[in-house]
Structure 1
């Protein structure tokens, strides 16, 4: 293409003549370096190189020829590393580095509401370096956006596609040459990773017909590739002037294309996407050499361009300076180099729609301004794809039926407890009731009612309990059950202790000195210990609501929704230690009560001694408590199973204790 430009009549009229080296490297660094050295070893001195276009060739070639003081003018070579003037001081390109496209990609993400993306780049290539990833991170992290995965693909792209699938990636920014990209997209098609929910980002310098090469370089057909990349986005340098202004050559982009098609017999050969930049780069080289010659003449130097030698650093600097100073209006737009030897062109954003590529927006790097054209982006069903599945949290509540059942049973238990209270009050003057300490029995009833009440507090759907008050409800459950347990079993313990005290007293006259007030104080002391532990716990280590996943996520293939059932729990940092303390206190009461019951087992007066009944109660409570600990540890995340099992154990234990203590007395009367 460059040779055709050099033979163009308009170009010849402006070009003053000099030695330019033009060749086709086919993006292969070995042949490129070989041919360059062969040319440098010829008799004809090369003043300037036009090219290379491929970054894979530009890196090693410019480094290899650095000491030859040759200036390079290339239409492309967009690798980020080529901006390093310490390594590439004489390289100029009519393009901008790929990293400068990052702000445009960020602007697109913001426009479409995307905050999650994966970065996928070709390995072992300077063009698609990790610098892009770092730049993306720098712009995304302050916004709170996320790079889901960083992928580098080589000869097994299917592994990367599977990784994207596992991580539910929807937006992928790919950095690769077209041929490896074809293999990558083909694997995506084979694995079913395509459709309206998947959006690929590619460089816009891909040829419009790049999918046509699919049968030759991949295992997919052209149509399969087009299906996989449908609605994909292309971001890159604008390679033509959309205003159709007349450039320095006297042509517009449209008139140039007419001449170009005549030259190519109406076809668009591979690489024709860069035709305008190639044309302008050749003009830039010519104008720079003209400027160099003018400077030599103006300063009275006897040297001319043909006098350049590779060791002539002064003239080499003059040529490079002239290249950097030239600015003109080309058919691709305004051409002017910055301090890195790059330009600041307009960024074009295109979208793949079937077999066509549509320009949807322009982005100005200097002003960070996005201009939408041609109706903007098109999406299936006029809906912008989501950047990830929408995670929908469904709170799990205690089943209404289960709650009603347990509450009904608790209510019946409370009614029975009040019945025992009435019985205990009405018949308190009878010897059998009076001898069994009716006042203390009332404490057993009160404690049992509190234990029953614990069942009534649960997180039921439709309840008036807000999330912020959930921990308060748990505190109430903690208090009612702990205090209720201490009242009930503390009272039984106190009764047994009185019998034991009477039997072990050395002076029979003091047997009746253990009055109810003393027993009340004993129970009150036990309750006070529980209250002290609870108050200390909730003062120093307050409950906080945590959300736990109750089930595995449930995906709905026909939508972007992932349903995740959660339960709300209240936990604290030292929950285990305070709970263990309460267990220890209650355990000591049970153990001591069992000891006293054993010590008083020989008392024959049933009205006075409840040791056997207390023994049965302790056996039931210990058994049920062990079951409760096991169930609580195994079904903790199953709200209904946990509530139902623990409530059932509480109801059984409380009902058993009440009936064991009071039912024999009721039957006697």
Structure 2
């Protein structure tokens, strides 16, 4: 089979059968009229007539190479509005160069894909099944490029994109012939991570539109932030309406938010009013510069509202225009390129022209293709091939073009053009911030070298970059010092009272009624009270006074002082009441035997109670010692002056691994003693005995101690998270118990002793007053004359009556019976003294 002025390819080669395909193409200078493909039917005939190759009157003598392009002139990203003129500029310059493809002319066949994969599918079919053969395909949007690049390998076509940023396109297994001058969106992620680190953010949130480009970008970002020790606390997505997703961000206190969506959806996001000094948005940098000012019927915000909402957000954008004045492969500087592009646009506002920022990438894409094709001419000629021999079955020409593109390296108007192993462009990242309604450059980042060039002109609504989360300040709750000092004063006075009572008891231990109260047991009670009061001080000592490493020592002091104090004070009182009950509730024959009190048995009982406590405390301290624990199950508190700060209260406790078990054992044992003490005190309330003459006072003290202890123990456990209330309740219970015990036991003894001393003093004074008149009478008798005559007024009766009334009483107290003295003369003998 043959075609005049053209070529015919039989697929598959061999004898035609049903399904065999004929492909027709014309030589240079001729155009194909008719169908370029014909299929063999069941009847053994071709379904399309043979086409014709007619002469091209516009033929310049150069062979044409066709590029099939899809430029989105409308849709989600209308980038073709500026990228198509830029690509045509590049084609004109390439075709006029004599050193690049001198025997060839590049021609662009383009359609509007509307950035819609469905529309792109139809256009791709037209490009492939309509003459002429395209040597390269050039899609724009990521969604369209994904479709085209995945299908292109079936036709052995190179796909070269100028506007696709989807990270998914970097998959060489899925897209083996794909290249792009637009860097992958993942190139933004190293820049974002670097900025998070610069501003010391460790917690971010993300919101994305559910398209493959944004999903794959976010997957890459998640891996990178994880490596950097940064947490993505909230991850939200939406299809068309972001309202619910934004509300979730607000509810979960998201502060640093990475937004991945197209600019139409961006306006919907900011309509939800999630902005202010607490928030920082990271957006995509390839939106139009005035995207937030564009009137959108889908939102009801004014330009002023939207400008306020987006103020301060940060964009990361691939450097798409070389900032340096360098003439590259096209012999144009970036500024000269912009001037010529503006001329082609006819004075259109760049901010309102879709794809204006990406136009340098489209321009450099055409130059990269031209240079790569130029590089393949010699290798193909050595193999007996030429570029015009390309068809959709020729893998050798495709392989040569692939190798040429893979090794490309030149200076373009967008910067240095070089591709990585996945066919993605390597480039710098521009960092901008919206300040006062316009974007300001605040830095550049070179991800290949990890170099951040920072201008230092970033501005924030507050005093600086906001916190990445509500800052939680850990603050220990310490005991109120006023309460501690007040209670300590009472405890100190109680200790002083205990020492006074102990001293009194020791000093007056020989007094009979004090001896009959078992003073040694009372001494133990006083010592126990002093120890219990001493426990108040470590109870009030916390992290404000001691370092956490010494806190276990404070815990031990609390335990031992209170335990030993209770054992001594209550144990000695319990022993008294126990003995009284034992003696006076027995049968009469046994009662007489036990009325002879042996003190050592009382002391032994106290010693046993004390030993039990010491042994249990030792086992507790050895097996499961008390240590410092920190309770943080408190509701965070917000100070009024700072909305970005929450205070997390912490409280120190003395605890052990099995604290509840130990407390259960101790409280159970002590509780039984208290209940038994109450019972014994009640049973002996009407008993009177001289051996322990203060047992009723002991019973009163036991009542008070038992009631206070049984109330305090559970209440302090309930109030353990309230340090002031817990301390006040426990310490005041100790103080009241001790004060009541000391007052009940010792004050009556002091009063009785004071009364006795007063009586003795009064008797001595009376004795002195009786002796004084007697001495005066003797002096008068010595002064009577020698005649011994009686005084005229003398009367024995009168003299006797003039004696003090207490005289005879006093003589009866101090004179033995039958004895006479000068002051105790019988009346019948008095006259003899005067003869």
Do they superpose with TM above 0.5?
yes
CA distance in structure 2 between the aligned counterparts of 1:470 and 1:546, rounded to whole angstroms: 12
Q: Which moved more, 1:246-255 or 1:53-62?
A: 53-62
| CA deviation after TM superposition for structure 1 residue 523, in Å | 2.3
Bigger share in helix: 1
Instruction: Report the counterpart of residue 243 of structure 2 in structure 1.
Output: 158
Q: How does 1:362-381 map to 2 (within 5 A)?
A: 362-373=444-455, 375-380=456-461
Match of residue 142, structure 2, among 49, 55, 68: 55
Instruction: Report the counterpart of residue 183 of structure 1 in structure 2.
Output: 268
The alignment status of 1:279 with 2:366, answered yes or no, reads no
Instruction: Report the counterpart of residue 567 of structure 2 in structure 1.
Output: 486
CA distance in structure 1 between the aligned counterparts of 2:170 and 2:496, rounded to whole angstroms: 86
| CA deviation after TM superposition for structure 1 residue 334, in Å | 1.5
Q: Which moved more, 1:318-327 or 1:336-345?
A: 318-327
Match of residue 253, structure 2, among 168, 174, 182: 168
Match of residue 312, structure 1, among 360, 374, 394: 394
CA distance in structure 1 between the aligned counterparts of 2:354 and 2:217, rounded to whole angstroms: 29
The alignment status of 1:424 with 2:498, answered yes or no, reads no
Q: How does 1:28-177 map to 2 (within 5 A)?
A: 28-51=116-139, 53-123=140-210, 125-129=211-215, 132-133=218-219, 135-141=220-226, 143-177=228-262
Match of residue 22, structure 1, among 110, 118, 137: 110
CA, structure 1 residues 117+556, in 2 after alignment: closer, same or farther (shift >3 Å)? farther
CA, structure 1 residues 639+155, in 2 after alignment: closer, same or farther (shift >3 Å)? farther
The alignment status of 1:261 with 2:348, answered yes or no, reads no
TM-score (norm 1): 0.90
| CA deviation after TM superposition for structure 1 residue 462, in Å | 10
CA distance in structure 2 between the aligned counterparts of 1:310 and 1:6, rounded to whole angstroms: 25
Deviation digits for residues 364-388 of structure 1, max 9, x if unmatched?
A: 1221111124x44233566333323
Count matched residues.
659
Deviation digits for residues 604-629 of structure 1, max 9, x if unmatched?
A: 22662655444444433333233223
CA, structure 1 residues 357+341, in 2 after alignment: closer, same or farther (shift >3 Å)? same
CA, structure 1 residues 440+194, in 2 after alignment: closer, same or farther (shift >3 Å)? same
Specify the SS of the correspondent of 2:485: helix
Instruction: Report the counterpart of residue 735 of structure 2 in structure 1.
Output: 651
Instruction: Report the counterpart of residue 412 of structure 1 in structure 2.
Output: 493
The alignment status of 1:225 with 2:306, answered yes or no, reads yes
CA, structure 1 residues 228+46, in 2 after alignment: closer, same or farther (shift >3 Å)? same
| CA deviation after TM superposition for structure 1 residue 30, in Å | 0.9
Q: Is the 8 A contact 2:256 2:468 kept in 1?
A: yes
- The structure with the larger Rg is 2
Deviation digits for residues 320-377 of structure 1, max 9, x if unmatched?
A: 333323332211112122221112111211111122112221211221111124x442
CA, structure 1 residues 462+306, in 2 after alignment: closer, same or farther (shift >3 Å)? closer
Q: Which moved more, 1:38-47 or 1:354-363?
A: 38-47
Q: Which moved more, 1:500-509 or 1:196-205?
A: 500-509
CA distance in structure 2 between the aligned counterparts of 1:138 and 1:620, rounded to whole angstroms: 67
CA distance in structure 2 between the aligned counterparts of 1:567 and 1:418, rounded to whole angstroms: 35
Identify unmatched segments of 5+ residues in structure 1. Answer: none
Q: Which moved more, 1:292-301 or 1:447-456?
A: 292-301
Q: Is the 8 A contact 2:148 2:159 kept in 1?
A: no
Q: Is the 8 A contact 2:95 2:106 kept in 1?
A: no
Q: Is the 8 A contact 1:19 1:45 kept in 2?
A: no
Q: Which moved more, 1:323-332 or 1:598-607?
A: 598-607
| CA deviation after TM superposition for structure 1 residue 525, in Å | 3.1
| CA deviation after TM superposition for structure 1 residue 138, in Å | 4.2
Give the RMSD, CA atoms, in angstroms: 2.9
Q: Is the 8 A contact 2:542 2:551 kept in 1?
A: no
| CA deviation after TM superposition for structure 1 residue 154, in Å | 3.8
| CA deviation after TM superposition for structure 1 residue 280, in Å | 0.6
CA distance in structure 1 between the aligned counterparts of 2:223 and 2:516, rounded to whole angstroms: 82
Specify the SS of the correspondent of 1:363: strand
CA distance in structure 1 between the aligned counterparts of 2:597 and 2:252, rounded to whole angstroms: 72
CA distance in structure 2 between the aligned counterparts of 1:37 and 1:585, rounded to whole angstroms: 92
CA distance in structure 1 between the aligned counterparts of 2:652 and 2:542, rounded to whole angstroms: 12
Q: Is the 8 A contact 2:532 2:566 kept in 1?
A: yes
Q: Is the 8 A contact 1:533 1:578 kept in 2?
A: no
| CA deviation after TM superposition for structure 1 residue 65, in Å | 4.0
CA distance in structure 2 between the aligned counterparts of 1:136 and 1:398, rounded to whole angstroms: 47
Specify the SS of the correspondent of 1:215: coil
Q: Which moved more, 1:488-497 or 1:632-641?
A: 632-641
Identify unmatched segments of 5+ residues in structure 2. Answer: 1-81, 754-835
CA distance in structure 2 between the aligned counterparts of 1:210 and 1:224, rounded to whole angstroms: 13
Match of residue 553, structure 1, among 622, 637, 657: 637
CA, structure 1 residues 156+532, in 2 after alignment: closer, same or farther (shift >3 Å)? farther
TM-score (norm 2): 0.73
Q: Which moved more, 1:210-219 or 1:485-494?
A: 210-219
Match of residue 12, structure 1, among 80, 84, 95: 95
Instruction: Report the counterpart of residue 339 of structure 1 in structure 2.
Output: 421
| CA deviation after TM superposition for structure 1 residue 485, in Å | 0.9
CA distance in structure 1 between the aligned counterparts of 2:227 and 2:397, rounded to whole angstroms: 47
Specify the SS of the correspondent of 1:341: coil
Relative contact order (alpha carbons < 8 A, sep ≥ 6): 1 or 2 greater? 1
